[in-house]
Amino acid sequence: MAALEINGLSKAFGGVIALGGVDLSIPDDRITGIVGPNGSGKTTLFNVITGVYPPTGGSITWHGEDISGRAPHQIARKGLVRTFQQAMSFPGLSVKENIQIALERGSRQLRGQAPRWHTPEDLLDFVGLGGRGGDDAGSMPFGNLRRLGVAVALAANPVLLLLDEPAAGLSDGEANMLADLIMKLPEMGIGVCLIDHHMTFMTALCQRLIVLDFGTKIADGTTQSVLTDPKVMEVYLGGEL
Amino acid sequence: MTMEFLNLKVPMALGGAHGKAPAGSTEGAGNRGRRIEQIALAVALIAIVAALPSLNIGYRFLSIAITTGYTAIALYGLGLQFGQAGIMSVGHAAMLGVGAYTAAMLSNHLGVGFWAALPASIVFAAIAGGLVGLPSLRVSGQHYIIITFCCCALLVICLTNGGKLTGAATGLDVGSIPRVFGINFDKLFNYYYLVLAALVITLGLVYAIVNSSYGRTLRSIRENEQLARAIGINVDLHKIGVFMASGAFAGLAGILQVYYLRHISPTLYGAFPSLYLALMVMLGGGRLIYGPLIGAIIVNFLPEVMDLNPVDSRIAYGVALLVVILLLPGGVSSGLLAIYRWICGRLFGRVSKAGS
Ligand SMILES: Nc1ncnc2c1ncn2[C@@H]1O[C@H](COP(=O)(O)OP(=O)(O)OP(=O)(O)O)[C@@H](O)[C@H]1O
Ligand SMILES: [Mg+2]
């Protein structure tokens, strides 16, 4: 059984069925990719997993424990930490204080491990923001803001990191740097579940891809098999792939 | 107006901008330097304020100073709530009211004096703060501000209709504070020192909170609640926590107020006093450690210094508030800090030039 088991998960917003009974298992020792056209329910999936919305139906099991309906902070403390599609930070505070807040929180959920980063500076170096600690988080260039978002999530000590379009809006160079960073996470004991539209970025990072369309899973398998799946080709009209 | 305030970007807090520097980092020395600078400033200020009565400044001045002191204590609570956690209240006088009426009712009905009533006032006001804070978990922004206003109005109605228990519209009287070590608190300057001691303790506590990891947690809630939740921060719990802390300081202010005035009535805790508290925090600035104190000093001393009648002074406050909103969104304190930093920069610039 994988770390995160999702069974028959559904979520409706009034008449809009954002998720229509999704079954997924996501391990916490590698990188799993989720793709799908706009509005296919990817972000909603993250929102429901992390407790932002209660599911309309189905179950979410994390390491054998049912976590559906838990509050977001409780889920985060169990090691399921997400980033946001709209890059987010604590804008009025310094970059260092942003990290410090998350590190102080994360250090209370060490789960018997030694802390990976002892100081905000360590983590800033890791994400390539070394020396930027004194900057105001609210007035950073977009690429740095994305990296800060990842750093804040990492500081909260995730077991499985859920990244919602971390490469959106980045230049190719910035996306490559981010890919290198994400690639290092599994060997540090952090699983990754990644949403993105950027296919070269996804194929470089993920051995496994899950494809959502209209709130249902239409493909799930090795990246190669998924990319050649006729159903997937049809959804993307051959265009984006 | 308050809503705009909640969204304005304000320079980094004097206390909040720098946390614990890791041992051995280059920032450590600068940080320690700043901390020493702050402590020196605080000691100097306290020394000046403590020396004031010996300058024969007169009873009128002393009474205004006492009012300023206990008001500032309440403002520090509101400053935590507004400046750190980002939640404004325009019903904060109600928290003072709970503290003051707790003390007055204990004195009138159970014969409990100042010292025994002190913890009770603080605890009851903290509980009231937590209760008024509960709706903030459901509604936010200007909607919550209106709720605080309603809570304040509700308290006034309860106090006015409380019969013998609250003294109804007439209010309640209290006696004097019993002597401790032979100090007679009926003497105005002794009362002044009592309030000063409470204010210094408040300042110390608030400084510690602002610079602790708890203070950072509150600021994270102010800046981005959704992200705070996503990294495991229990936003609701901390909101109620800061409302209780805010209420506790107001409770302390309330008991100091009632034993100073010796008589209280419901109008002291209604809409107008509440708006004044909000005004003072915004004028002074809620995020900087001296902001609330500066706000209290301006609002309490300005009419006296400029010899304004109550109507003119209200107009003056309105104008002052507009000017501050437009020119100094962080309050007067952030403006003063900018000037201070500028002067320091000039001085240090000269020093280093002279050295080289
Ligand atoms: N809070 C909400 N209220 C109402 N409808 C919502 C809400 N959140 C999402 N939806 C709807 O659910 C559907 C799925 O949206 P979602 O954001 O999950 O898509 P997505 O796959 O992340 O798309 P994108 O690639 O554009 O980010 C959309 O039709 C969207 O309009
Ligand atoms: Mg999305």
Same domain, A170 and A68: yes
Residues A169 and A68 in one domain: yes
Contacts of A138 in chain B (CB under 8 A): 9
The confidence score (pLDDT) of residue A232 equals 86
The answer to whether the CB of B5 falls within 8 A of the CB of B282 is: yes
Report which ligand 1 atom has the smallest distance to the Cα of A85. Answer: 27
Helix, strand, coil % over all residues of chain A, rounded to 5: 35, 25, 40
What six digits make up the tokens of A82?
A: 């997400």
- 8 Å CB contact of A73 and B19: no
- Cα–Cα distance measured from residue A197 to residue B91, given in angstroms and rounded to the nearest whole number: 49
Q: Could you say which ligand is closest to the alpha carbon of residue A39?
A: 1
Say if residue A241's pLDDT is above 70: no
pTM, two decimals, is: 0.87
Mutate to test the interface with B, among A70, A93, A100 (most CBs of B within 10 A): A93
Q: A10 in ligand 1 pocket by Cβ < 6 Å?
A: no
Is the Cβ atom of A142 under 6 angstroms away from ligand 1?
no
Contact call for residues A96 and A44 (beta carbons, < 8 A): no
Residues of chain A contacting residue B16, judged by C-beta atoms under 8 Å apart: 93, 97
Percent of chain A with pLDDT over 90: 82
* CB within 8 Å: B232 and A77: yes
Half-sphere exposure of residue B164: CA atoms within 13 angstroms, side-chain side? 2
Asked if residues B205 and B292 have their Cβ atoms less than 8 Å apart, the reply is no
Closest partner residue to A50 (CB to CB) among B216, B223, B230 is: B230
Q: pLDDT by residue (tens digit) across A191-224?
A: 999 999 888 899 999 999 999 999 999 999 999 9
| Of B8, B42, B1, B72, residue with least CA distance to B281 | B72
Mode of pairing for the β-strands spanning A31-35 and A57-62: unpaired
Whether the CB of B226 is below 8 Å from some CB of chain A: the reply is yes
Question: Is the shortest distance between the CB of A50 and ligand 1 below 6 Å?
Answer: no
The verdict on A171 and A123 lying in the same domain is no
Residues A205 and A168 in one domain: yes
- List Cβ neighbours of A161 (8 Å cut-off, separation of 6 or more): A81, A82, A83, A153, A154, A185, A190, A191, A192, A193
Q: Is A40 in the pocket of ligand 1 (CB under 6 A)?
A: yes
- Best residue among A10, A11, A16, A19 to mutate for probing ligand 1's pocket (most ligand atoms within 8 Å of CB) is A16
- Greater confidence (B139 vs A163) lies with A163
Facing residue for A97 by CB, picked from B10, B19, B231: B19
CB–CB contact B17 A94 (8 Å): yes
Asked if residue A229 and residue A170 are part of one domain, the reply reads yes
Question: If you take atom 16 of ligand 1, which residue's CA is the nearest one?
Answer: A41
A42 CB under 6 A from ligand 1?
yes
Helix axes B59-79, B271-284, angle to 10 degrees: 80
**Probe site for chain A from B84, B214, B227 (most A CB atoms < 10 A):** B227
Distance A164 CA to ligand 1 centre (A): 13
**Is A18 close to ligand 1, i.e. is its CB under 6 Å away?**
yes
**Which residue among A98, A128, A157 closes a domain?**
A157
DSSP assignment string, A94-144: BHHHHHHHHHHHHTT--TTSPPS-SSHHHHHHHTT-TT-TTSBGGG--HHH
Pairs of CB atoms within 8 A across A/B: 96
Range of the domain at A240: 1-72+160-241
Q: Under an 8 Å CB criterion, which residues of A touch B?
A: 50, 52, 71-73, 76-77, 81-84, 88-94, 96-97, 100-102, 104-106, 109, 118-119, 121, 136, 138, 152-153, 155-156
Rounded average pLDDT over A69-90? 95
Report the CATH number that the domain containing residue A49 is assigned in CATH.
3.40.50.300
Q: Closest by alpha carbon to B15, among B292, B278, B242, B252?
A: B292
Nearest to B221 by CA among B231, B207, B206: B231
B318 at interface of A, judged by CB pairs closer than 8 A? no
Q: Does B47 touch chain A (CB under 8 A)?
A: no
Tokens, residue A231: 């159903």
Question: A85 to chain B: which residues are within 8 Å by CB?
Answer: none
Ligand 1 atom nearest residue A53's Cα: 1
Same domain, A150 and A219: no
> Which tops the pLDDT comparison, B61 or A161?
A161
Rounded distance between C-alpha atoms, residue B127 and residue B131, angstroms: 6
Cβ neighbors of B68 (< 8 A, separation 6 or more) are B296, B297, B300, B301
Question: What's the pLDDT score for residue B8?
Answer: 34
Encoded tokens for A64: 């054998």
A100 lines ligand 1 (CB under 6 A): no
Residues A7 and A48 in one domain: yes
How many Å from the N-terminal Cα to the C-terminal Cα in chain B?
50
Q: How many CA atoms lie within 13 A of B138 on its CB side?
A: 5
Nearest CB partner across the interface for B231, out of A119, A138, A153: A153
Same domain, A144 and A168: no
* Site of tokens 């265009």: A239
Please indicate, yes or no, whether residues A191 and A232 belong to a single structural domain of this protein.
Answer: yes
Spatial contact of B110 and B286, defined as CB atoms under 8 Å apart: no
What residues in chain B have per-residue pLDDT under 70? 1-33, 349-356
Helices (H) and strands (E) in chain A, counts: 9, 10
Residue with the nearest Cα to atom 26 of ligand 1?
A38
One domain, residues A197 and A174: yes
Nearest CA to B283 out of B328, B316, B341 is that of B328
| Domain closes at, from A157, A183, A217 | A157
Mean pLDDT of A31-49: 95
Q: Last residue of a domain, which of A136, A157, A178?
A: A157
Give the pLDDT score at A76.
96
Cβ-based neighbour number of residue B1 at 10 Å: 12
A183 lines ligand 1 (CB under 6 A): no
Q: Are residues A66 and A94 in the same domain?
A: no
B251-296 pLDDT, tens digit per residue, is 999 999 999 999 999 999 988 899 989 989 988 888 888 889 999 9
Number of domains in chain A: 2
Which range has the worst mean pLDDT, A58-67, A174-183, B185-194?
B185-194
Shared domain check, A236 and A176:
yes
Residue B10: predicted pLDDT: 34
